[in-house]
Structure 1
């Protein structure tokens, strides 16, 4: 590949002015001509369904400066920061064409983040991280104790940034990294800013979308708004985990605590707490509020509930983390992205395709890659059942990649 290629790790749930700022600044910072985005599919890292489907979000990304969109499989997209980063970084590396990675962070200082990532790697190799986690505390709480730094781990983007850097350092990947400081608000900030810079967090914007509030126009680019509204008018309703409550309670009553025990990250006793609080609650949001504590973060409980609904068991999750990023599911490309597709032919290290069925045939039955792809189909069927106005079975097989001309 003769040109420098920027990699970004994205969810765009929804795409807003802050995302556009990040893309433009990242290209300016690196001098990259092309952008490859690794994007969460129909489910996101918070442990929730994406507010609109992955193909609509792909179209939005392509209309706002991303040239090639590659799916981050649900098995990685719905993990904590470590698993999320492991999947995303290895996908970027396995393209063979991405030369730079730029991510947002509250810290905004790449050298400080690198130093922290290296320190954690050293502690990991000494087995100290495993030892502290045996005490039953959360991963983020464990990091706070090891680093003795409360501030660095307050920001969700700082934590992700450190995990991206750990994976790059661990595998000595040939990717140049930099960061752009987040401004105006934090990732989970529910407050809409009232100043002249119309940048709000995705957390603040999702309620506007669900309530059809026209104020959202101020905070997202026009092309993003039009695709968002068209999708919600014609194809689906705004997705939320609460809409899956009845199904979740049905599964929980049928499978009991044994079904929860099959999931990764469910330590002894947590399954009983979830089951007991489910009896006391009427929907998933209420349940999460009853279960969460200093030890069990909201996002962790949400991911466990989503994994239970999707039937993402511990075996597939752990094996996926051993062999991350071993295929590229391409969701779409821009006219400029066609050049990137040509470059993949001679540079990509793993099978790739714009066609789900073709990619599926690349792998033998029983392989982790085949099981990931089959799981993706199941997860998309569930998404379609709950959030499409007209349920369509097998969208993975029939939905074409988004190609802008």
Structure 2
């Protein structure tokens, strides 16, 4: 395919007017006709279950201008910015057809973000990042200390942007990058804008969805609202980590601190803090509040708890990060996206399929890809058990990819 193809890295948790603005502006900036979205599945980067399932969010994405939706596997989708970016960027690169990547950022200046990414790569090569993390501070705090620039790494989207650029620069990937400046709110702004025409953050919108507040309609496109409402009225309840509290505490009592020690990215000593605080915590939210500190960010603790629930251990995470993006699970495509599927056959660098069973058969049991896919199956079963109104085992095998005809 000789045409330019735009790549976007998305969660749509939930999809709102800001996401629609990003898609339209990105196509305008790049002149791309086609859009490929790499989307987190049933769990997202903040360490929580997505508020609605990945098939409903795929339908929303296709309904709003994305032509091909590829799943970001749980092993990457639930990591901190570095691992999340590695998985997403390499999936886009391995399609062999994506020519452009446009992401949102608080900074809104691609040259400043590129300069920060290059500096961090230089520090990485000198071993300085590992050294500073030995102090026991968080990854983002360590980056800020190295760069000595509070502004560039102040926002969550800036941090992700720098990590996307680091991976592209590190591997010299042939992808043209640009950024769109976020406005009106930050990624985790909990307040709704007073101006009804303004853009609200996903963080501010999720409580409206959980409380069935009709005000949500002001901040998301009409078609997206309808899919959201239909999903929550017919198929599932709004998902949250707190609804998994009893299950988590039962697992914790069974496996203890030794079980926690095996989890991805847990620092020595943190397992004891989590276990001790869990004794008096009635919910995961309250546990996170009691454990969090300047050293241990809320999102970091949330990811550890989610990894424990899903049995995503450090061994699988580290091996996955060594060679990321080794398969493409297609969740859906538009009519126009069918052209992209044809192009994948000639250009894709890794196995791909719209069918989970067929993709699973591509790899023998020793392969990391097989283990990632099996994790996807168990993670979806857990999601379905807690949040679907009618639990169905094995949805990965039975749920069809969505072909959206506009």
TM-score after normalising by structure 1: 0.99
Measured after TM superposition, the shift of residue 267 of structure 1 is 1.1
Distance (whole Å) between structure 2 residues aligned to residue 394 and residue 68 of structure 1: 24
Quote the residue 1:191 is aligned against: 191
> Does structure 2 conserve the Cα–Cα contact (< 8 Å) formed by 1:118 and 1:166?
yes
Quote the residue 1:50 is aligned against: 50
Distance (whole Å) between structure 2 residues aligned to residue 388 and residue 366 of structure 1: 32
Quote the residue 1:388 is aligned against: 388
Quote the residue 2:319 is aligned against: 319
Task: Give 3-state SS (helix, strand or coil) of 1:319's partner.
Answer: helix
Quote the residue 2:161 is aligned against: 161
Measured after TM superposition, the shift of residue 196 of structure 1 is 4.7
Quote the residue 1:200 is aligned against: 200
Quote the residue 1:294 is aligned against: 294
Find runs of 4+ consecutive structure 1 residues off by over 4 angstroms.
Answer: none
> Does structure 1 conserve the Cα–Cα contact (< 8 Å) formed by 2:196 and 2:218?
no
After superposition, where does 1:225-304 map in structure 2 within 5 Å? 225-304=225-304
Task: Give 3-state SS (helix, strand or coil) of 2:273's partner.
Answer: helix
Measured after TM superposition, the shift of residue 316 of structure 1 is 0.5
Quote the residue 2:373 is aligned against: 373
Distance (whole Å) between structure 2 residues aligned to residue 152 and residue 32 of structure 1: 28
Task: Give 3-state SS (helix, strand or coil) of 1:280's partner.
Answer: coil
Distance (whole Å) between structure 2 residues aligned to residue 106 and residue 322 of structure 1: 29
Measured after TM superposition, the shift of residue 197 of structure 1 is 2.7
After superposition, where does 1:62-77 map in structure 2 within 5 Å? 62-77=62-77
Task: Give 3-state SS (helix, strand or coil) of 2:89's partner.
Answer: helix
Distance (whole Å) between structure 2 residues aligned to residue 223 and residue 102 of structure 1: 24
Quote the residue 2:215 is aligned against: 215
Task: Give the stretch that moved more between structures: 194-203 or 379-388.
Answer: 194-203
User: Where does the alignment leave 5 or more consecutive residues of structure 1 unmatched?
Assistant: none
Task: Give 3-state SS (helix, strand or coil) of 1:205's partner.
Answer: helix
Task: Give 3-state SS (helix, strand or coil) of 2:225's partner.
Answer: helix
Measured after TM superposition, the shift of residue 299 of structure 1 is 0.1
Distance (whole Å) between structure 2 residues aligned to residue 78 and residue 264 of structure 1: 10
Q: Residue deviations 1:373-402, cap 9 Å, x none?
A: 001000000000000001010000000000
Quote the residue 1:107 is aligned against: 107
User: Where does the alignment leave 5 or more consecutive residues of structure 2 unmatched?
Assistant: none
Quote the residue 1:27 is aligned against: 27
Distance (whole Å) between structure 2 residues aligned to residue 231 and residue 199 of structure 1: 23
Distance (whole Å) between structure 1 residues aligned to residue 264 and residue 394 of structure 2: 27
Measured after TM superposition, the shift of residue 264 of structure 1 is 2.0
Distance (whole Å) between structure 2 residues aligned to residue 197 and residue 225 of structure 1: 16
> Does structure 2 conserve the Cα–Cα contact (< 8 Å) formed by 1:198 and 1:218?
no
- Give RMSD over aligned pairs: 0.5
Measured after TM superposition, the shift of residue 280 of structure 1 is 1.5
Quote the residue 1:8 is aligned against: 8
Q: Residue deviations 1:52-101, cap 9 Å, x none?
A: 00000000000000000000000000000000000000000000000000
Distance (whole Å) between structure 2 residues aligned to residue 260 and residue 320 of structure 1: 20
Distance (whole Å) between structure 1 residues aligned to residue 112 and residue 186 of structure 2: 19
Measured after TM superposition, the shift of residue 256 of structure 1 is 0.5
Q: Residue deviations 1:129-177, cap 9 Å, x none?
A: 0010111111011111100111222200000000000000000000000
